[in-house]
Structure 1
Amino acid sequence: MELDRDHIHQLMNEKVVMGVINETDEQLLQNAFKEHPELKTEFEQLQQEYAIWSSEPAIQHLDSEADFALIEDELKSRKRRKRNGRAFSMLLIAASIAAIVVFIYPLFTSHPDSITPSQELALNKTTLQLQLSNGEVIDLSAPKDSITLTGGTQLRNNNHSLTYSTKDNTNTTEQVNKLWVPPGMDYHITLSDGTIVFLNSATSLQFPFHFTGNTREVFVDGEAYLQVAKDHNRPFILHTPKGAVQVLGTAFNVNTYDSGRIKVSLVEGAVSFANAEKQTILKPGQAITYLENKGTTLTALNENELLWIQGRYKLDNAPMTEITKVLPRWYGVKVVIDNPAVAEKKFTGTILKAEPVQEFLDAIKLTTGADSYYKDGVLHIR
């Protein structure tokens, strides 16, 4: 039987971080080590790396009760902190545990029947909506204290957030719902296991009202920040259009806006990236980017990329073409740059989602001289 290296890498990471795995998996791992000595060498190297990493004082004192209020406070204060002699901006406080495992499978193409990107649900892309597994569409654009669904599920939609409770959790099948956050909005939802998902504009989330089986699985297309509830017995798997992220409990950001690209950013916790060739344990303040046909790169965490949680998008000497990607998501308007010379200009500034788009356009004109106008519902910059 051909060795499933992805699965072996997963077991190696689980044993490194958790210390023990079940008897069946342990036997499978030992057999793999016996037949492939290079895997045992790799495992021992991982153990050494993790031992060094986990001995750092900062890792031994992680906050296990972080919530969104703390995240927001950190984003507002933006205080710089020192860790091991290097500058590190702690924008977010990770929840759950001091060490987690994340697996990204760049070649991942299949998804469980219940969670699949091929589900084209008939949602109105301009309003906040929830489509249930039976096809019924719930309009969430108007806050309501409580919505009772067939079967007894109670939805509570207020303050840009959705929570729910189910009357019957004995159903052994997961019925997948789809939440759509339109351009110009952001939203967050608390799942049945306590995981909190913050969704950026133009983002969809597929999820069940309650998780069954040995895993907790959702699908995200767009951008989301997750605080995953700790559950050692049921890993949390986040599917994206081009890959999957598996965690045991932590807080992280995933961005799939650009086709063929996935970026996962970690602020706290132990992160292991695995592909067919090797695996690497990341440290806090690092990010992994996967580009289709080009593989992965490891970079420093860009704190500006996490400011969307606060409704801010920071442009730092960015090309004008970047706003043609951001404004459609944040304001629901198509953008065209008429003048190629303007497209090459650089711009530094901040887009505030709560303010009218004209405020940002005025800032562009003031700093670059580029004017703007509307024609047939399209925003032109010249």
Structure 2
Amino acid sequence: MLRKTFEEPDIDQQWANLQRSVPKSIPAATDQRLQKKRYFLLGIAAGVAAVALILLVVRLYDNYLDNRPVTVFLAQHTETAVTMQAGEQEHVLSAQKEISDPLPGVKIDSRKADFTQAKALHPETRTIQTSYGKDYLVVLNDGTQVIMNAGSKLTFPTKFEGTERIVSLEGEAYFKVVKNPERPFVVRTEKLSTRVYGTEFNVKAYKGSDPHVTLIEGVVVVDVPNLKKNIRLLPSEDVSVKNKTLEIRDIDPQYYIQWKDGFLYYDNVPLGEVLSDIGRWYNVDIEIEKSSLMSYRMHFVVNRNAGIQEVMENLNEFKFLHASKSGNKISIDDKKNS
């Protein structure tokens, strides 16, 4: 059988044909893809660097916030006194003499105001205010006893009428309420109100701090209008309002009421709260040199009959604190920086 014969290929011609058949755009496309990949990687690197820079700035700012001074308490620079507002008249009650109230039957001196025998045809409003470093006893018209702590204000009627016995408080007070099932006793503060029929309890509601109600005996109902909630407390329970939430704890109530017997007792309480109470009683400015110290919690006792120097010596017993005093200002710093 005959085989078909072929012409010998022209190698140079075939190579030229192959070169012409390859698109000239391929090298350009490859360069473009490489360039896009390079830009993508550079973008990632820039993003990581930006995030790192932001985190660094945030950390530095947090360190600044942690290390800046914080004024915990500012003293009153006026004469300390207990005063009573009766209409347009203001009476100083801390003078060592008996004070006359416009109403007959009211007995007032430097330690106590007694309204149980007040002869009032119609109720009049009285406001008694204690300055820093002073406490005071008020006996209301129904016999209820109110021990006011330093820096507090109590507003009340000279005679209770109507279906409720209502008083207003700013600061701290211990209430021993005379029982009357027909007429509940109500203590109103800025953020909450407490309703009782006859019991003993403590209310702490200074401006700028978390309000507390601590029950000693009986039952109370605490109403928080802003949260539209009310809580029924049992003895040895404490309720507080913190960051728009209610917190109820089982406590030893003696820790919360020893102030009325001359002691400040703190069990696992933030340093800032402890120093605020010290400043309020001793009427001194207090500054914490580092705000990060505010979160420390303390077990601490203050004898309010002791001098401020003794209190500072006790503070300096803590391993992490250093207290120093210049004029009427106490500074609290980290011990390692003192």
TM over 0.5: yes
What value does the CA root-mean-square deviation take over the aligned residues? 2.7
Aligned to 1:334, which of 281, 285, 300?
285
Question: For residues 278 and 148 of structure 1, what CA distance do their matches in structure 2 show?
Answer: 43
Aligned-residue sequence identity (percent) comes to 26
Superposed, 1:90-239 pairs within 5 Å as 126-132=80-86, 134-144=87-97, 146-158=98-110, 160-164=111-115, 168-171=119-122, 174-239=123-188
Q: 1:352 maps to what in 2?
A: 303
CA contact (8 A) 2:85 2:126 kept: yes
Confirm or deny: 8 A CA contact 2:93 2:99 kept in the other structure: no
> Does the C-alpha gap of structure 1 residues 161 and 337 become closer, same or farther in structure 2, counting only changes over 3 Å?
same
Cα distance, 1:249 vs structure 2: 1.1
Match of 1:256 among 205, 214, 224: 205
CA 1:358–1:170 in 2, change beyond 3 Å: closer, same or farther?
same
User: Is 1:373 matched with 2:322?
Assistant: no
Alignment partner of 1:367: what SS?
coil
Q: CA deviation at 1:169?
A: 2.7
Q: 1:363 to 1:169 in 2, by over 3 A?
A: same
- Secondary structure in 2 matching 1:222: strand
CA contact 2:174–2:203 (8 Å) conserved in 1 = yes
Say if 1:228 and 1:343 are closer, same or farther in 2 by CA, change over 3 A.
Answer: closer
The residue type equivalent to 1:315 in the other structure is Y
The match for 1:295 among 221, 236, 245 is 245
> Does residue 315 of the first structure (1) align with residue 269 of the second (2)?
no
Which residue of structure 1 aligns with residue 60 of structure 2?
none
Alignment partners' CA distance in 2, 1:365 and 1:277: 44
Q: 1:315 to 1:213 in 2, by over 3 A?
A: closer
Distance 1:343 1:295 in 2: 21
Asked if structure 1 preserves the Cα contact closer than 8 Å seen for 2:172 and 2:205, the reply is: yes
Q: Deviations over 1:209-266 (max 9, x none)?
A: 1112222111011111101111222221111011211111111111112536322111
Q: How does 1:36-115 map to 2 (within 5 A)?
A: none
Matched pairs, number: 252
**What is the one-letter code of the residue matched to 2:80?**
T
Unaligned runs of 5+ in 1: 1-123
Going from structure 1 to structure 2, the CA distance change for 1:371 and 1:239 (only over 3 Å counts) comes to closer
Q: Structure 2: where are the runs of 5+ without partners?
A: 1-77, 334-338
Q: Is the 8 A contact 2:172 2:204 kept in 1?
A: yes
| Cα offset, 1:328, TM superposition | 1.9
Verify the 8 A CA contact 2:216 2:235 in the aligned structure 1.
Answer: yes
Question: What SS does structure 2 have at the residue aligned with 1:366?
Answer: coil
Contact 1:130/1:180 (CA < 8 Å) preserved in 2? yes
Give a deviation string over 1:292-337, Cα, whole Å, max 9, x none.
5x23222112431221121211234555433431122111111012
